[in-house]
Structure 1
Amino acid sequence: MNRTTLHQRRLLRAAILGCAVLTSAVCVNPLGANPSRSPEKSIMKEQPLTLKQLAIAPIAANAAIGDMPRLHDALNRGLDAGLSLSETKEILVQLYAYAGFPRSLNALSLLMNVVEERAARGIEDAPGREPGPVPSGYALTELGTDNQTRLVGAPVSGPLFEFAPAIDQFLKVHLFGDIFARDNLQWTDRELATVGALAAMAGVESQLESHLKISLNVGMTVEQLRQVAQELEARGDLQAAQRVSAGLDRIRR
């Protein structure tokens, strides 16, 4: 083998290795079709949030505090931005785990009215895709535990869960199992909704910070989360915006 050929082969091998490294760092699963099986960080990277993504936090924030006039506007903006009916309903269904059944039911009732109003104006919103089947029994417990571990970045345990094991079971089986296993909403979008809801409510800053960290774990960036704060402020949710910004400052120290 002559020296030129050997050099060319070394260059080709280096190029292949470099491509492999780049691929593993950037080309990862975007938490798309089945988020319960795709916990890897998304490829959102430094891209700004879309109008559709930016619409999610204000919907959840206003639903969580029961501000129906602002929720009415937020729902219309979200549907105009491309949220399907399935995605929008899922945001409000998930909300009950953080703000309770009354807020969730009221918000879903308002969404029904909004859809009827839009239909009367000749607007036909995309129905979207319904969630696929979710396992039951022990398989659901395993799935929920796995989802929780992947979202948080480590197994979750501690004195609180030893003191009240029922809440640990409910979190694993129901929140991270029943809800997060539903694949009609990406994990990144679920976190945008959760951050919006928690930011709107006073006294849950520690939970907000936990979900800001989870948002980073599933592939969002600090810059994108600051966009969420900016959008909340632009829509008049000043305290929610301040809580997101303050939470980001604390977890980035």
Structure 2
Amino acid sequence: MLKKILSITAFFSLLFTSSLLAKEEIKMLDKKQQNMITISAFTANGNLDKLKIAFNEGLDSKLTINEIKEAIAHLYAYTGFPRSLNSLNLFMKVVEERKAAGKEDILGKEASPKPENYDSIEYGKKIRAKLAGLKEDYTGAPYQVFAPVVDEYLLGHLFGDIFVRDVLTHEQRELVTISALAAMTGTQGQLNFHLKAAMNTGITKDQLNDFIKVIDTKVDSTQAKLSKETLEKVLDSK
């Protein structure tokens, strides 16, 4: 009888533990990630009034100054220098205003030196393959054949010189990227790729659904709807 009781107790203990583990697997976006979404989205769509609010909320959530600067620099490759520079100039003012008000923001780490014998093209190939979920980088795409120099820029500069900087992780960079693409029009094709890339860097399905909620409630409901449709296609293909 005692053995039976112990067996039943062990069963329910295991069931309870399994339930806790299942709950722990649900990974949502934290406050810093949510603020990185709005900073990136408003940098991309040029809404400077809301971007100023996003900067303050981001710094309040303990995003570092260097993390935000790195996100802005990263985004020039997706939004162009005009939007990136507008964002950077505004961020400088926000940092100065907060300092004058007595707020102590965290500067954060600088980028580490590039790896020894660094080759931007070869590094870029490895990173793009990783983001695409492939063992080797793809070649022969129509645009690569039509304009090889564009692919050289993508590999050497974007996936090479930008991604090699470790101020942000690759996961953070993909969150920044999908946030910008979701806020812009006509970029659903690129968003499709980068939603998959985000998952390949560790962002979960639950976090991506959470990402759509942030775009919907804080950025633009129309863009959120389009992004949700793209995300559903990506998840269906998994």
Q: Tell me the CA shift for residue 56 of structure 1.
A: 1.0
Supply the distance in 1 between the matched residues of 2:235 and 2:168 (Cα, whole angstroms).
Answer: 27
CA shift, 1:137, in A, is 8.3
Q: 1:45 to 1:104 in 2, by over 3 A?
A: farther
Structure 2 residue 205 is the aligned partner of structure 1 residue 222: yes
Please tell me the residue identity of whatever aligns with 1:116: E
1:193: which partner in 2? 176
SS, match of residue 161 in structure 2 = helix
Report whether the alignment pairs 1:46 with 2:26: yes
Partner of 2:144: 161
The C-alpha deviation readout for 1:7-60, integer Å capped at 9, x for no partner, is xxxxxxxxxxxxxxxxxxxxxxxxxxxxxxxxxxxxx95321110011111111
Change (3 A) 1:45 1:94: farther
1:201 Cα shift? Answer: 0.8
What is the TM-score normalised by the length of structure 2?
0.84
Once the two structures are overlaid, the 10-residue window that deviates more, 44-53 or 213-222, is 44-53
Percent same amino acid at aligned positions?
Answer: 42
Q: Which runs of 5+ in 1 are unaligned?
A: 1-43
CA–CA separation in structure 2 for the residues paired with 1:137 and 1:243? 43
Secondary structure (helix, strand or coil) at the match of 2:49 reads: helix
Report the 3-state secondary structure (helix = DSSP H, G, I; strand = E; otherwise coil) of the residue aligned with 1:55.
Answer: helix
Q: Structure 1 length as normaliser, TM-score?
A: 0.79
Aligned to 1:246: 229
Aligned to 1:212: 195
Give the Cα–Cα distance (whole angstroms) in 1 for the partners of residues 170 and 118 of structure 2: 22
Secondary structure, aligned partner of 1:232: helix
Counterpart of 2:131 in structure 1 is 151
Residue type of the alignment partner of 1:229: I
Which aligned pairs between 1:230-241 and structure 2 lie closer than 5 A?
A: 230-241=213-224
* Distance in 2 (alpha carbons) for counterparts of 1:214 and 1:84: 24
What secondary structure sits across from 1:185 in the alignment? coil
Write the deviation string for residues 99-132 of structure 1: whole angstroms up to 9, x where unpaired: 1001000000000011011112111110000001
Matches of 2:44 and 2:182, distance apart in 1:
9
Change (3 A) 1:140 1:169: same
- d(CA) in 2 for partners of 1:160 and 1:236? 32
Aligned to 1:105: 85
1:72 is matched with which residue: 52, 74, 82?
A: 52
Which shows bigger deviation, 236-245 or 46-55? 236-245
What is the distance in 2 between the residues matched to 1:205 and 1:144?
Answer: 23
Match of 2:112 in 1: 132
Cα deviations by residue, 1:220-239 (Å, 9 ceiling, x for unpaired): 11110111111122214223
Q: Are the aligned partners of 2:127 and 2:160 in contact in 1 as well (CA < 8 Å)? A: yes
RMSD of aligned alpha carbons: 1.8
User: C-alpha displacement at 1:135, in angstroms?
Assistant: 5.4
On the 8 A contact 2:64/2:106 being kept in 1, the answer is yes
Q: Work out whether residues 27 and 204 of structure 2, in 8 Å CA contact, stay in contact via their aligned partners in 1.
A: no
Residue 42 (structure 2) pairs with residue 62 (structure 1) = yes
Give the structure with the larger helix fraction.
2
Counterpart for residue 40 of structure 1:
none
C-alpha displacement of 1:156: 2.3
Q: Post-superposition, which runs of at least 4 consecutive aligned residues in structure 1 deviate over 4 A?
A: 135-138
1:88 corresponds to which of 61, 68, 92: 68
Question: Match of 1:171, SS?
Answer: helix
The count of residues paired between Structure 1 and Structure 2 equals 211
